[in-house]
Amino acid sequence: MTGTELVRDFVNTRELLDPVELFGSPEALGAWLSSNGIASTGVRPDAGDLRHAIELREALRRILLSNTGVEVDTEAEFAVLEAAAARARVELHFSGHESDLLPAAEGTAAALGRIAIAVHEAMADGSWSRLKACRASDCEWAFIDTAKNHSRQWCSMGSCGNREKARTFRRRHKH
């Protein structure tokens, strides 16, 4: 899984259309982090870790909305991302002719730090601008824009795009 896919999947742990919250408890958070290979199976998040994870996820969602042209105060959102990296004590490591960013912390802080690292990697490899959140306010599902001109604004033209275009049409033609 690429860093871009990891960020997308992390943001999509909460679904707005059919209200689903995959992080309903610290144990559920731990299970998701383990099943996605960014934490050991023995990780035991607490209520504070859960709060940090949800805060990070929603900050990332708002940043991804800005990638679709929605006006967002990304300074505040990036501060949340920086705090996750700081809690993880992300460090630069060199080995041979390669370098890696790795969390020095343990547990849930390290796992959330790996998500911050994934954001950094996506920015560095140029894939970040393709990672977006659906502009439909009742959806905001994260997706990777595969259009050649990077112009997608909705997760699906067949559902969210059509609904938004119909709403716009009705507003314009209201008597």
pLDDT digits (tens, 9 = 90+) for 36-91: 999 988 899 999 999 999 999 999 999 999 999 999 989 999 999 999 999 999 99
**Per-residue pLDDT reduced to its tens digit, 158-168:** 678 666 666 66
* 171 Cβ contact list (under 8 Å, min separation 6): none
Q: pTM surpassing 0.75? A: yes
Q: Where are the domains of the chain?
A: 3-172
The Cα–Cα gap between 127 and 174 comes to 40
Is domain 3-172 given the CATH code 1.10.3300.10 in the classification? yes
- Rg of the Cα trace of the chain? 17
